[in-house]
Chain A
Amino acid sequence: MTYLRPNFRHPDLPTNELGYTKKNYEGSLSTLCAGCGHDSISAAIVQACFELSIEPHKVAKLSGIGCSSKTPTYFLGNSHGFNSVHGRMPSVVTGANMANRDLIYIGVSGDGDTASIGMGQFVHAVRRSLNMTYIVENNGCYGLTKGQDSATADVGSKSKKGDANPFEGIDLAALALQLGASFVARSFSGDKEQLIPLLKAAIKHPGFAFIDVISPCVTFNNNPGSTKSYEFVRDHLQATGTVDFVPMRKEITTSYSAGTSQEVTLHDGSVIHLHKIDDKLDIHNRRSALDLIQEYKSESKILTGLLYMDKEPTDLHETIGTVHKPLRSLQEKELCPGNNVLQNINASFR
Chain B
Amino acid sequence: MKPTDNANPEYYHKVVDCQYACPAHTPVPEYIRMIAAGRYEDAYMINWESNVFPGVLGRTCDRPCEPACRRGRIEEQPVAICRLKRVAADFKTDVSHRMPKIPSKKNGKRIACVGGGPAALTVCRDLMPLGYHIDLYDAQNAGGGFMRSQIPSFRLPETVLNEEVGYILNMGVVTHFDTYIDSLKGVLDKGYDAVFVGTGAPRGRDLNAPGRQEGAANIHIGIDWLASVAFGHVEKIGKKVIVLGGGNTAMDCCRTSMRLGGESVSVVVRSPRSEMKASPWEIEDAEREGIPMFENHVPVEFVIEDGKLVGMKFEKVKASYDSNGKRSLIPTGEDHIFFPCDDVLIAVGQENSFPWIERDVGVDFGKWDMPAVDEVTYQSSNPKVFFGGDAAFGPKNVITAVAQGHQAAVSIDLFCRGDDVHKRPAPGVTTVSQKMGVHEWSYDSKIEDDKRYKVPHAEVKIALTDRKLEVELGFDVETALKEAHRCLNCDVQTVFTESRCIECDACADICPTECITFINNDEEPALRTKLRAPANNLTQDLYVSRDLPTKRVLVKDEDVCLHCGLCAERCPTSAWDMQKFLYQVSKAGSIQ
Which residues of A come within 8 Å of B, CB atoms?
1-13, 30, 33-37, 39-40, 42-43, 189-190, 192, 216, 218-219, 222, 230-231, 234
Contact = CB atoms under 8 A, between A and B. Distances in A.
Given A2-B441, A190-B504, A230-B504, A34 B572 contact: yes
Given A2-B439, A2-B445, A40 B514 contact: no
A35 B75 contact: no
A1 B439 contact: yes
5 contacts: A1-B445, A5-B566, A13-B533, A192-B505, A219-B572
A3 B569 contact: yes
Given A6-B445, A230-B504, A231-B549, 19 more contacts: A1-B441, A2-B569, A2-B578, A3-B439, A5-B566, A6-B564, A7-B449, A9-B513, A10-B514, A10-B533, A12-B534, A35-B572, A39-B506, A39-B570, A40-B506, A43-B509, A189-B505, A190-B503, A234-B549
B388 interface: no
B443 to A, nearest CB: 8
A222 B506 CA distance: 15
Contact of B505 (A5, A7, A43): A43
Contacts of B74: 8, 11
Contact of A6 (B73, B440, B562): B562
A9 B560 CA distance: 9
Contacts of B431: none
Contacts of B568: 2
B573 interface: yes
Contacts of A219: 572
Contacts of B564: 2, 4-6
B185 interface: no
Most chain A CB within 10 A, of B74, B512, B564, B568, is at B512
A48 B562 CA distance: 25
Given A1-B446, A40-B509, A35 B502 contact: yes
Nearest to A46: B509
A144 B502 CA distance: 22
B444 interface: yes
B445 A4 contact: yes
Given A4-B446, A34-B571, A40-B509, A216 B504 contact: yes
Most chain A CB within 10 A, of B75, B506, B564, B578, is at B506
Given A3-B439, A6-B447, A34-B569, A190 B514 contact: no
A10 B439 contact: no
B497 interface: no
Contact of A40 (B447, B504, B550, B566): B504
B536 interface: yes
A35 B506 contact: yes
B7 to A, nearest CB: 25
Interface string B444-467: 111101000000000000000000
Contact of A5 (B440, B512, B571): B512
Classify chain B: how many residues form its interface, as a range.
Answer: 35 or more
A11 B73 contact: yes
A8 B504 contact: no
B565 interface: yes
Interface in B339-396: none
A332 B83 CA distance: 68
A18 B562 CA distance: 27
A73 B229 CA distance: 67
Contacts of B550: 234
Contacts of B513: 8-10
A33 B512 CA distance: 18
Contact of B570 (A7, A9, A35): A35
Contacts of B536: 12
A211 B530 CA distance: 28
Contacts of B446: 1, 4
A4 B439 CA distance: 10
Nearest to A43: B509
Contacts of B578: 2
A30 B510 CA distance: 9
Contact of A9 (B444, B509, B512, B573): B512
Given A7-B449, A10-B514, A40-B509, A2 B566 contact: yes
A99 to B, nearest CB: 34
A35 B512 contact: no
Contacts of A4: 445-446, 564
Nearest to B444: A1
A5 B533 CA distance: 19
A12 B573 CA distance: 31
Contacts of A36: 504, 506, 572
A219 B438 CA distance: 15
A222 B440 CA distance: 25
Interface string B500-527: 0011111001101110000000000000
A8 B506 contact: no
B442 to A, nearest CB: 10
A165 B523 CA distance: 47
Contacts of A8: 74-75, 449, 512-513, 562
B505 A1 contact: no
Most chain B CB within 10 A, of A7, A8, A13, is at A8
A40 B505 contact: yes
Given A1-B439, A5-B566, A34 B533 contact: no
Interface string B553-592: 0000000101011101111110000100000000000000
A110 B565 CA distance: 29
Contact of B504 (A7, A30, A35, A42): A35
A10 B560 CA distance: 7
Contacts of A10: 512-514, 533, 560
Nearest to A4: B446
A222 B439 CA distance: 22
Contacts of A222: 502
A35 B573 CA distance: 8
Interface in B20-75: 73-75
A194 to B, nearest CB: 13
Given A10-B514, A33-B572, A2 B565 contact: yes
A6 B512 contact: yes
A10 B513 CA distance: 4
A2 B434 CA distance: 11
Given A1-B440, A35-B570, A190 B565 contact: no
Contacts of A30: 510, 570
A9 B512 CA distance: 5
Interface string B180-222: 0000000000000000000000000000000000000000000
Contacts of A231: 502, 549
Nearest to B571: A34
B295 to A, nearest CB: 32
A20 to B, nearest CB: 16
A310 to B, nearest CB: 32
A96 B510 CA distance: 31
A3 B506 CA distance: 14
Nearest to B508: A43
A2 B570 CA distance: 10
Contacts of A1: 439-441, 444-446
Contacts of A37: 504
A216 B503 CA distance: 12
Nearest to B550: A234
A2 B562 CA distance: 12
A49 B550 CA distance: 28
A286 B570 CA distance: 40
Contacts of B514: 9-10, 13
B571 A35 contact: yes
A40 B264 CA distance: 67
Contacts of B503: 190, 230, 234
Contacts of B510: 5, 30, 39
A245 to B, nearest CB: 19
Contact of A34 (B75, B506, B512, B565): B506
Contacts of B533: 10, 12-13
Contacts of A13: 514, 533
